[in-house]
Structure 1
Amino acid sequence: MRERLVSAIAIALGVFIFYTSLFGAFETLIQRATFVAAIVTLGLLLNPSPGRFGWAVDLVLWSGVIGSVVYVIYEFENIMNNLPIATRWDVAMAFYTLSVVLIIAYRVSSWIFPGIVGVAVSYGFFGDLIPGTFGHRGFDAYYITEVIFLGDKGLWGMLVSVASTTLAAFVLFGALLLNTGAGNAFFKLARRIAGRSRGGAAKVATVASAFFSTISGSTVANVATTGNFTIPLMKRLNYPPAFAGGVEAIASTGGQLMPPIMGTAAFVMAELVGVNYWSIVASAFIPAVVFYIAILMSIHLAAAKQDIQEIDIHADENDTEALTWQEFSPVIAGFAGIILGVFSGFSIGLTACLGMLGIMGAFVVSQVMARTAPKQIGGQIVRAFESGGKGVVIVGILLVSAQVFVSMINLTGIGVTISGAILEAAGGNLIVVTVVMAVVCLIAGMGLPTSAAYVLVAAVFAPALISQGFDALPVHLFVLYFACLSVITPPVCVGAFVAATIAETSWLQVAKYAVLLGAGCYCVPFLFFAYPGILLTGGPVDIATGIGAGLILALAIPKLIFGLGGGLIGVCQWLMSVLAIATLFVVAPVAIAAGVVLSIASHYKRAVASSPDQVAVPVADKISVGINK
Structure 2
Amino acid sequence: MSTIDLHAHPQGKTPSPEEFQEHGVQRQLAGLSLKVLFAAALAFSVYQLIVAAFHPLSSLVIRSLHVGFLLMLCFLLYPAVKRGTHTSIPWYDWLLAAGAFAMGTYHWIFEADLIQRAGDPTTADLVVGTIAVVMVFEAVRRVMGLALPLVCGAFLLYGLFGQYLPGALAHRGYDYGQIIDQLFTGSEGIFGTPTMVSATYIFLFILFGAFLEHAGMINLFNSLALGLVGHAKGGPAKVAVISSGFMGTISGSGVANVLTVGQFTIPLMKRFGYSGVFAGAVEATSSMGGQIMPPVMGAVAFIMAETLNVPYVDIVKAAAIPAILYYLTAFWMVHLEAGRAGLSGLPKDQIPNPWRALKANWHLILPLAALVAMLFHGFTPMFAGLTGLALTAILILGAAVAAGLSKQAFRYVFWVALGLAAATFLQWGIYSILAIIALLVAACFVVQGGRETLRSMKMSLIDGAKQALPVGLACAIVGVIIGVLTLTGAASSFAGFILDVGAKSLFLSLFLTMIVCLVLGMGIPTIPNYIITSSIAAPALLNLGVPLIVSHMFVFYFGIMADLTPPVALAAFAASSIAKESPMKIGFKATQIAIAGFVIPYMAVYDPALMLQGDWTVLAVAYVVFKTVLAIILWGATAVGYLWTPLKVYERIFTGVSALLLVAAVPITDEIGFAMAALFFAWQFVRKRRLAVAA
TM-score by length of 1: 0.91
After superposition, give the CA deviation of every residue in 1:285-316 in whole Å (9 maximum; x if it has no partner): 111111111111111111112211112244x5
Task: Trace 1:515-530 onto structure 2 (pairs within 5 A).
Answer: 515-530=591-606
Give the counterpart letter for 1:473 in structure 2. I
Greater mean deviation of Cα atoms: 532-541 or 101-110: 532-541
User: Shift of residue 410 of structure 1?
Assistant: 2.0
Are the structure 2 counterparts of residues 239 and 81 from structure 1 closer, same or farther at C-alpha, using a change threshold of 3 Å?
Answer: same
Partner of 1:469: 545
Q: Does 1:480 align with 2:556?
A: yes
Are the structure 2 counterparts of residues 221 and 568 from structure 1 closer, same or farther at C-alpha, using a change threshold of 3 Å?
Answer: closer
Aligned Cα RMSD in Å? 2.5
Partner of 1:177: 212
Partner of 1:624: none
Among 543, 556, 575, which residue is 2:621 paired with? 543
Partner of 1:368: 401
User: Shift of residue 549 of structure 1?
Assistant: 2.1
Give the counterpart letter for 2:161 in structure 1. F
Partner of 2:504: 428
Give the counterpart letter for 1:544 in structure 2. A
2-side partners of 1:347 and 1:500: how far apart? 39
Among 483, 486, 497, which residue is 1:410 paired with? 486
**Structure 1: 5+ residue runs without aligned partners?**
614-629
Q: Does 1:392 align with 2:462?
A: no
Among 319, 330, 336, which residue is 2:369 paired with? 336
Among 346, 358, 361, which residue is 2:379 paired with? 346
Task: Trace 1:203-218 onto structure 2 (pairs within 5 A).
Answer: 203-218=238-253
User: Shift of residue 212 of structure 1?
Assistant: 2.2
Are the structure 2 counterparts of residues 322 and 610 from structure 1 closer, same or farther at C-alpha, using a change threshold of 3 Å?
Answer: farther
Partner of 1:289: 324
User: Shift of residue 527 of structure 1?
Assistant: 1.0
Task: Trace 1:433-582 onto structure 2 (pairs within 5 A).
Answer: 433-537=509-613, 538-540=615-617, 541-562=619-640, 563=642, 571=650, 574-582=653-661
User: Shift of residue 471 of structure 1?
Assistant: 1.8
Q: Does 1:30 align with 2:65?
A: no
2-side partners of 1:506 and 1:298: how far apart? 21
Partner of 2:146: 111
After superposition, give the CA deviation of every residue in 1:182-219 in whole Å (9 maximum; x if it has no partner): 11111111112321211111111111122224433222
User: Shift of residue 402 of structure 1?
Assistant: 1.1
Are the structure 2 counterparts of residues 580 and 4 from structure 1 closer, same or farther at C-alpha, using a change threshold of 3 Å?
Answer: same
2-side partners of 1:457 and 1:179: how far apart? 35
Greater mean deviation of Cα atoms: 330-339 or 196-205: 330-339
2-side partners of 1:90 and 1:212: how far apart? 44
After superposition, give the CA deviation of every residue in 1:431-465 in whole Å (9 maximum; x if it has no partner): 11111111111001113222222222222332332
Task: Trace 1:71-470 onto structure 2 (pairs within 5 A).
Answer: 71-80=106-115, 82-314=117-349, 319=352, 323-325=356-358, 328-371=361-404, 372-424=448-500, 428-470=504-546
Give the counterpart letter for 1:136 in structure 2. H
Kept in 1, the 8 Å contact 2:182–2:483? The answer is yes
1-side partners of 2:451 and 2:647: how far apart? 69
1-side partners of 2:637 and 2:658: how far apart? 12
2-side partners of 1:567 and 1:115: how far apart? 48
Are the structure 2 counterparts of residues 610 and 127 from structure 1 closer, same or farther at C-alpha, using a change threshold of 3 Å?
Answer: farther
2-side partners of 1:501 and 1:232: how far apart? 12
User: Shift of residue 2 of structure 1?
Assistant: 1.5
Q: How many residues align?
A: 611
After superposition, give the CA deviation of every residue in 1:154-202 in whole Å (9 maximum; x if it has no partner): 1221111100000111011101110111111111111123212111111
2-side partners of 1:443 and 1:30: how far apart? 35
Percentage of matched positions with identical amino acids: 28
Greater mean deviation of Cα atoms: 331-340 or 439-448: 331-340
After superposition, give the CA deviation of every residue in 1:2-43 in whole Å (9 maximum; x if it has no partner): 111111121222222223333346311121111111111111
Kept in 2, the 8 Å contact 1:564–1:574? The answer is no
User: Shift of residue 514 of structure 1?
Assistant: 0.5
Give the counterpart letter for 1:127 in structure 2. G
Greater mean deviation of Cα atoms: 527-536 or 76-85: 76-85
Are the structure 2 counterparts of residues 332 and 606 from structure 1 closer, same or farther at C-alpha, using a change threshold of 3 Å?
Answer: farther
User: Shift of residue 376 of structure 1?
Assistant: 1.7
Greater mean deviation of Cα atoms: 283-292 or 592-601: 592-601
2-side partners of 1:272 and 1:323: how far apart? 44
1-side partners of 2:309 and 2:684: how far apart? 44
1-side partners of 2:482 and 2:398: how far apart? 46
**Structure 2: 5+ residue runs without aligned partners?**
1-31, 405-447
